[in-house]
């Protein structure tokens, strides 16, 4: 049963971005289980055919990704194989930076999603147009003059959240609001601080309602990604006009102990996504939501005796009721002759093609300025909201 | 007790916020017993003071060992230094050079190498600029960060040759693409010894190596000088350029004096204070690039003394400043490494700058998320009477009389945490709030307890002000 009022106006498309930090091992997520070369190169981390979960003649899911297998079989998941870019970097930071700013060759300060916020809400009227769950704002959402909200803990969000007594906190917030009143002649930086402080207050006020309105039958697991995705549902169903959600799932840098480590993360991630989709459907709020799961790079084909080192081509996933399920682009070639740097599988699709497709077809925006050029699109949607 | 008046204290507090990480009141009063230039001289002479005994951290808390491949341990150790150092300017200059020669842990993924890099910056932080450039040019973390290990006699990689000019010394538009190529050629063969494999040997430091067989010994022309130039010659030529003095002077101004435009705009936007830059350039040229003398000119100048609260604190300055006030970590603590997460949430991760350009500064530190983190961190840290620094503030206010009026409460808290200068309307708002509960009474045990709680509450409000974001 839900008490949430149905939005009367047309539903606006929403994008949920899930960042897998550290470099998810795509090859061990979507496994080419018929290739001898996979097993030859991965004596330690390779997953045997009998353990994996085949879903095509040549590809199988990691045994801990059973939830993804179910979503895929429902036809709600596009697997984009071999995502990368020509100027890839093996540095986590640099690679992530490229994904966040769409600038492979220079260091840029404007995040791609910040540019989207600017398009959607040019006057910065809604402080929760974009919401990140995690500590600190990811670079993708940051740009001068763009407002985005970052939430560490939705149940305890906002300024002075450490003040235990609600009465004291409320009074502090009132004083804060008075102290952060923009005043003539106080200087540009002081005014900017005032404005930012006021935005934080109004954003927090809006968000405070979300947990109170939410009821759900879905029981999420107790881990950070499940909690973050549940928070996405809570804010989304509160109807605050949030169009972009962002969260990260960390720990994919499996140089060592990959076998147990990767299995644990994939269980957390895939179960959380499945619960999330169910929760959205229960709230009649799934149709307008598209999830993008990405990582900064894939990992090398050869294992190092304990894990795998940073590689090139990775993989991304699009999930949603309106996604045309299937495989997109091509699985990176395993043939040694095609390896780059003599050890990496090459990418087969530029990450900016993925962004352009989402921006253009899902969000209804012109992607050229946001991603910095024309990139070939593919067609992963059965229906769009725009 | 001190005989200095409040003006002296304000000026001294300003110097300590900029040349260090702030101070508690006792420390401030001790410094203020000396005259200003004497203190500047002491700050410029770190060798006269004892080093922080950092090894004690490892002894108490093995997880803080710097060799562990986790920069959080190292960041925690660095905070311990910032808070406890007897030579604050040395630590501040180390942070300054780290912001200029921004080199990241993420690319090397080899913590000891970056730890060595920071130590090299510390040892050379007030040296002649030549020594500093030589230090970074031979630094394995920098060599890897800017690909100079891929810069070969037969095939140059221009990355380091370009950045040493563009970001580390002269700034764009003061040299040609040919100068970049010559610089790159002069640094060919400047590489590092083969690292010991990470697996299974763990983290090991890497050492500089000059490979003669990979060096280009042919004639080169660089900024009008022609000859068989090598990296050392390039550094000598760079250090004597006025453009270098201007560029580093502007960096010093932006870091220590007042927020200016971001580095990429410097070739088009004039400096915020041209006179200040000219003064530093003159000292640089007269002293032949002696950083210590340039710093002396800066700290003793009128434009420095006048620039109070013209600088938005970086996350590191903010957190270290709050910890100086709270009096925590005077002894090693097991949670030092968590301070990394604290500054990361505010947008800065030491040893992991966003790019070779370093961090953007000033108001770019502030967005809704980082402002929330800053305020909540300051409030949560100081909302605790058991912290020695918080107790000391309450004790001082109690010691000033049997009763404290609302206005006195506000003014004394502002004074004791800075002195912090706030706008009149901010002060009025705080006083109006304090008036709702009347004066503080310190005559009985019960009323003292209540009064102490009100001091703590006022303290948390004062550190939530806009003004507290500035140094």
Specify if B136 maps to a domain. Answer: no
B236-273 pLDDT per residue, tens: 999 999 999 999 999 999 999 999 998 888 888 899 99
Counts for chain B of helices (H) and strands (E), in that order: 25, 6
| B195 torsion bin: left (phi>0), alpha (psi -120 to 50), beta (else) | beta
- CA atoms lying within 13 Å on the CB side of residue B293: 14
Instruction: Name the residue ranges covered by the structural domains of chain A.
Output: 14-153+216-371
User: What is the spatial distance between Cα B64 and Cα B110, in angstroms, rounded to a whole number?
Assistant: 16
Work out the minimum CA distance from B146 to partner chain A, whole angstroms.
Answer: 12
Average the pLDDT over each of A49-58, A255-264, B86-95, B211-220 and give the range with the smallest value.
A255-264
User: What is the spatial distance between Cα A132 and Cα A150, in angstroms, rounded to a whole number?
Assistant: 5
Q: Which two tokens stand for residue B116?
A: 């060595």
Specify if B462 maps to a domain. Answer: yes
User: What is the spatial distance between Cα A36 and Cα A42, in angstroms, rounded to a whole number?
Assistant: 10
Which has more pLDDT, B53 or A286?
Answer: A286
What pTM value is reported for the model?
A: 0.82
Spacing of C-alpha A321 from chain mean position = 17
Inspect the interface and report whether the beta carbons of A93 and B259 lie closer than 8 Å. Answer: no
B186-227 pLDDT per residue, tens: 999 999 998 777 667 777 788 999 999 999 999 999 999 999
Inspect the interface and report whether the beta carbons of B354 and A107 lie closer than 8 Å. Answer: yes
> How confident is the model at residue A93, as a pLDDT?
65
Is it the case that residue B110 has pLDDT exceeding 80?
Answer: no
| Residues 20-49 of chain B whose Cβ lies under 8 A from any Cβ of chain A | none
Nearest to B466 among A135, A194, A305 (CB): A194
Work out the minimum CA distance from A37 to partner chain B, whole angstroms.
Answer: 23
Q: Which two tokens stand for residue A39?
A: 């097993």
Looking at chain B, which residue has its C-alpha nearest residue A106? Answer: B355
Nearest to B423 among A91, A159, A186 (CB): A186
Would an 8 Å CB–CB cutoff place A197 in contact with chain B? Answer: yes
> How confident is the model at residue A2, as a pLDDT?
42
Average pLDDT rounded to a whole number, residues B71-87: 92
Inspect the interface and report whether the beta carbons of B367 and A189 lie closer than 8 Å. Answer: no
Inspect the interface and report whether the beta carbons of A91 and B369 lie closer than 8 Å. Answer: no
Which of B461, B370, B315 has the alpha carbon at shortest distance from A192? B370
Work out the minimum CA distance from B147 to partner chain A, whole angstroms.
Answer: 12
User: What is the spatial distance between Cα A283 and Cα B460, in angstroms, rounded to a whole number?
Assistant: 41
ipTM, two decimals: 0.90
Helix, strand or coil, per DSSP, at residue B459: helix
Residues of chain A with Cβ-Cβ distance to B373 below 8 Å are: 135-136
Beta strand pairing call for A53-54 and A60-61: antiparallel
Q: Which two tokens stand for residue B43?
A: 């700050």
The torsion of the CA quartet A116, A119, A124, A126, rounded to 10 degrees, works out to: -70
Give phi and psi for A358, each to the nearest 5.
Answer: -65, -45
Q: Count Cβ atoms within 10 A of the Cβ of residue B407 and give its class: 0-12 exposed, 13-18 middle, 19 or more buried.
A: middle
Domain count, chain B: 1
Class of domain A14-153+216-371: alpha beta
Inspect the interface and report whether the beta carbons of B379 and A160 lie closer than 8 Å. Answer: yes
- Domain that includes residue B464, residue range: 388-469
> How confident is the model at residue B105, as a pLDDT?
65
Looking at chain A, which residue has its C-alpha nearest residue B356? Answer: A107
Task: Please name the residue that has the structure tokens 């050890």.
Answer: A343
Task: Please name the residue that has the structure tokens 């410097």.
Answer: B266
Specify if B457 maps to a domain. Answer: yes
Work out the minimum CA distance from B267 to partner chain A, whole angstroms.
Answer: 17
In sequence order, what are the beta bridge partners of B209?
B191
In sequence order, what are the beta bridge partners of A245?
A16, A131
Residues of chain A with Cβ-Cβ distance to B356 below 8 Å are: 107
Looking at chain A, which residue has its C-alpha nearest residue B343? Answer: A136
Inspect the interface and report whether the beta carbons of B367 and A203 lie closer than 8 Å. Answer: no
User: What is the spatial distance between Cα B151 and Cα B148, in angstroms, rounded to a whole number?
Assistant: 5
Work out the minimum CA distance from B375 to partner chain A, whole angstroms.
Answer: 7
Q: What percent of chain B has pLDDT over 70?
A: 96
Counts for chain A of helices (H) and strands (E), in that order: 10, 14
Average pLDDT rounded to a whole number, residues A334-352: 89
A177-222 pLDDT per residue, tens: 999 998 877 788 998 899 889 988 988 888 988 888 899 999 999 9
- pLDDT band, residue A308 (cuts 50/70/90): confident
Would an 8 Å CB–CB cutoff place B107 in contact with chain A? Answer: yes
Give phi and psi for A247, each to the nearest 5.
Answer: -155, 165
Q: Which two tokens stand for residue A271?
A: 């179960």
Which has more pLDDT, A28 or B2?
Answer: A28
């Amino acid at each position: 049963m839900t008490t949430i009022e149905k939005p009367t106006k047309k539903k606006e498309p929403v994008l949920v971005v899930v960042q897998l930090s550290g470099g998810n091992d795509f090859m061990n997520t979507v496994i080419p289980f018929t290739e001898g070369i996979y097993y030859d190169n991965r004596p330690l981390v390779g997953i045997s055919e009998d353990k994996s979960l085949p879903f095509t003649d040549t590809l199988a899911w990691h045994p801990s990704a059973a939830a993804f297998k179910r979503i895929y079989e429902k036809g709600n998941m596009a697997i984009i194989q071999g995502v990368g870019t020509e100027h890839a970097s093996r540095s986590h930071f640099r690679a992530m930076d490229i994904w966040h700013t769409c600038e492979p060759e220079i260091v840029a300060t404007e995040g791609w999603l910040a540019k989207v916020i600017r398009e959607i809400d040019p006057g910065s009227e809604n402080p929760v147009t974009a919401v990140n769950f995690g500590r600190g704002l990811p670079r993708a959402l940051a740009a001068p003059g763009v407002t985005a909200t970052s939430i560490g803990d939705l149940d305890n969000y906002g300024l002075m959240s450490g003040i235990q007594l609600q009465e004291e906190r409320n009074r502090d917030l009132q004083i804060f609001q008075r102290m952060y009143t923009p005043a003539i002649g106080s200087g540009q930086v002081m005014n900017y601080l005032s404005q930012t402080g006021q935005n934080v207050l109004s954003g927090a006020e809006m968000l405070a309602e979300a947990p109170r309105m939410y009821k759900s039958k879905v029981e999420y697991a107790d881990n950070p990604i499940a909690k973050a995705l549940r928070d996405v549902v809570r804010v989304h169903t509160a109807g605050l006009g949030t169009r972009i959600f962002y969260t990260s799932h960390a720990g994919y840098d499996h140089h060592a102990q990959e076998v147990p480590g990767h299995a644990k993360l994939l269980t957390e991630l895939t179960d959380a996504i499945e619960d999330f989709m169910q929760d959205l459907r229960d709230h009649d709020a799934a149709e307008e939501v598209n999830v993008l799961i990405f990582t900064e790079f894939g990992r090398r084909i050869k294992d190092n005796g304990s894990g795998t080192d940073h590689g090139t081509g990775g993989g991304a996933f699009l999930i949603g009721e309106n996604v045309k399920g299937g495989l997109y682009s091509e699985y990176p070639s395993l043939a040694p002759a095609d390896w780059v740097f003599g050890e990496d599988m090459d990418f087969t699709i530029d990450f900016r093609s993925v962004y352009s497709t989402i921006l253009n077809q899902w969000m209804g925006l012109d992607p050229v300025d946001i991603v910095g050029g024309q990139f070939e699109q593919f067609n992963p949607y059965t229906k769009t909201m725009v | 007790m001190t005989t200095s008046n409040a003006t002296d204290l304000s000026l001294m507090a300003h110097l300590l916020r900029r040349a260090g990480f702030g101070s508690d009141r006792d420390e401030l009063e001790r410094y203020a017993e000396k005259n200003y230039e004497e203190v500047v001289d002491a700050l410029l002479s770190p060798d006269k003071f004892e080093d922080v005994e950092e090894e004690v951290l490892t002894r108490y808390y093995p997880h803080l060992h710097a060799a562990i491949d986790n920069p959080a341990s190292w960041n925690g150790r660095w905070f311990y230094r910032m808070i406890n150092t007897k030579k604050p300017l040395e630590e501040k200059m180390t942070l300054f050079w780290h912001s200029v020669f921004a080199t990241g842990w993420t690319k090397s993924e080899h913590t000891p190498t970056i730890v060595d890099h920071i130590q090299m910056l510390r040892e050379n932080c007030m040296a002649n600029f030549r020594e500093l450039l030589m230090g970074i040019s031979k630094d394995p973390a920098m060599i890897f960060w800017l690909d100079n290990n891929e810069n070969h006699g037969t095939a140059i990689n221009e990355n380091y040759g370009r950045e040493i000019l563009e970001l580390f010394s002269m700034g764009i538009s003061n040299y040609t693409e040919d100068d970049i190529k010559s610089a790159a050629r002069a640094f060919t063969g400047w590489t590092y010894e083969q690292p010991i494999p990470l697996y299974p040997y763990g983290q090991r430091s890497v050492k500089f190596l000059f490979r003669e067989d990979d060096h280009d010994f042919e004639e080169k022309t660089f900024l009008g000088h022609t000859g068989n130039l090598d990296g050392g010659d390039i550094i000598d030529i760079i250090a004597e350029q006025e453009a270098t003095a201007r560029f580093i002077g502007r960096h010093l101004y932006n870091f220590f004096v007042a927020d200016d435009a971001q580095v990429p705009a410097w070739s088009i936007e004039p400096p915020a204070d041209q006179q200040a830059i000219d003064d530093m350039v003159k000292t640089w040229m007269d002293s032949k690039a002696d950083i210590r003398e340039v710093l002396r000119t800066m700290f003793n100048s009128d434009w420095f003394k006048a620039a109070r609260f013209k600088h938005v604190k970086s996350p590191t300055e903010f957190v270290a400043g709050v910890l100086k006030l709270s009096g925590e970590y005077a002894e090693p603590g097991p949670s030092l490494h968590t301070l990394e997460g604290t500054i990361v949430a505010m947008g800065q991760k030491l040893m992991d700058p966003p790019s070779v350009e370093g961090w953007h500064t000033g108001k770019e530190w502030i967005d809704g998320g980082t402002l929330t983190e800053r305020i909540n961190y300051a409030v949560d840290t100081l909302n605790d009477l058991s912290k020695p620094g918080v107790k000391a503030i309450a004790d001082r206010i109690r010691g000033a009389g049997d009763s404290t009026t609302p206005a006195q409460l506000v003014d004394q808290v502002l004074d004791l945490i800075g002195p912090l200068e706030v706008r009149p309307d901010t002060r009025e708002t705080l006083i109006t709030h304090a008036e709702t509960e009347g004066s503080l009474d310190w005559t009985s045990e019960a009323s003292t307890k209540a009064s102490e709680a009100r001091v703590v509450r006022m303290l948390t409000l004062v550190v939530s002000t806009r003004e507290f974001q500035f140094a």
